[in-house]
Structure 1
Amino acid sequence: MKRRTAREKAFQALFQTITEDIDTDEAIQHVVEDPEVDPFLHDLVHGVMDYRDDLDQWIADHLDNWTFPRLPKVEKTVLRMAAYEMKHNEDVPTQVAINEAVELAKIFGEEDSGKFVNGVLSKMI
């Protein structure tokens, strides 16, 4: 599985954990067809969940005119994923994590979601 596809699937699984209060592994199984889960996807989903409080605080520290709880679920999920990659995945360059997050925000979010995500993540580097 390509990393972009893995990120999209990871986004979908993480979004389910927010909206449906579903178990992480069950959410992953809902978004993948193959019983063999891609290691990058697995690491991304479980890493975000394991470090969620730390990531949320790091993101909140870089928000202007927003509080973390007020963020829309799409932006919250994308920012968590990017923050995890930036902070805990040495295989992914920071700029790649940001670019991929912006693309996810454009796909799953509102018209200005990509710009918002880019602005927040740019403050975090």
Structure 2
Amino acid sequence: MRESVFKTLFQWDFQKDEDLTEIAKQHISSLEDEKLREQAYCYIEGIKRTIESLDEIISKYLQNWTLDRLSVTDRNILRLGTYELLYVEDVPIEVTLDEMIELGKTYGTENSGKFINGVLDRIAKGEAPKEKFDM
């Protein structure tokens, strides 16, 4: 599910004039499980609604980088991870970090996993709801 959401965000980053929901249909429709498709669409709608806030938060925690200097892969994994850390109540922080690191290792450079882990860890410590630390 996260991989489909990531692929949607990745493609949207290149086609900002296209509707994110329309792009999502291409990637999410391939998910066999209906619950996962619904969850993926919820993520897409949530990210679409909060994209400016997500980008501001990510930018705040980047060290010696700007959002526009990041690779498209890393930028969109960070958006997905930040959204999940801040707005998805039932996913523990460790799960989000592990899943985003794996996406980074799969789709990014050899350093993406470590970079994503460092940024998301700082975001989690500084921004995640207190309840997520007790999961």
Aligned to 1:13: 8
Please tell me the residue identity of whatever aligns with 2:15. Answer: E
Counterpart CA distance in 1 for 2:54 and 2:21 is 20
Deviation of 1:50 after TM superposition, in Å, equals 1.0
Matches within 5 A, 1:68-83: 68-83=67-82
Q: Report % sequence identity.
A: 35
Instruction: Specify the SS of the correspondent of 1:38.
Output: helix
Instruction: Give how far 1:98 is off.
Output: 1.1
In 2, distance between residues paired with 1:67 and 1:33? 33
Q: After the TM superposition, which residues 77-96 of structure 1 pair with which residues of structure 2 at under 5 Å, given as runs?
A: 77-96=76-95
- Matching residue of 1:115: 114
- What CA distance in whole angstroms lies between the structure 2 residues aligned with 1:46 and 1:28? 10
Query: Which sections of structure 2, spanning at least 5 residues, go unmatched?
Result: 126-135
Using the size of structure 2 for normalisation, the TM-score is 0.83
**TM-score, structure 1 normalization:** 0.89
Q: What 5-or-longer segments of structure 1 have no aligned partner?
A: 1-5
Q: CA separation in 1, counterparts of 2:75 and 2:61?
A: 13
Root-mean-square deviation (CA, aligned residues, Å) is 1.6
How far apart are residue 39 of structure 1 and its match? 1.4
Q: 2: CA distance between counterparts of 1:76 and 1:53?
A: 13
Q: How much has 1:69 moved relative to structure 2?
A: 1.5
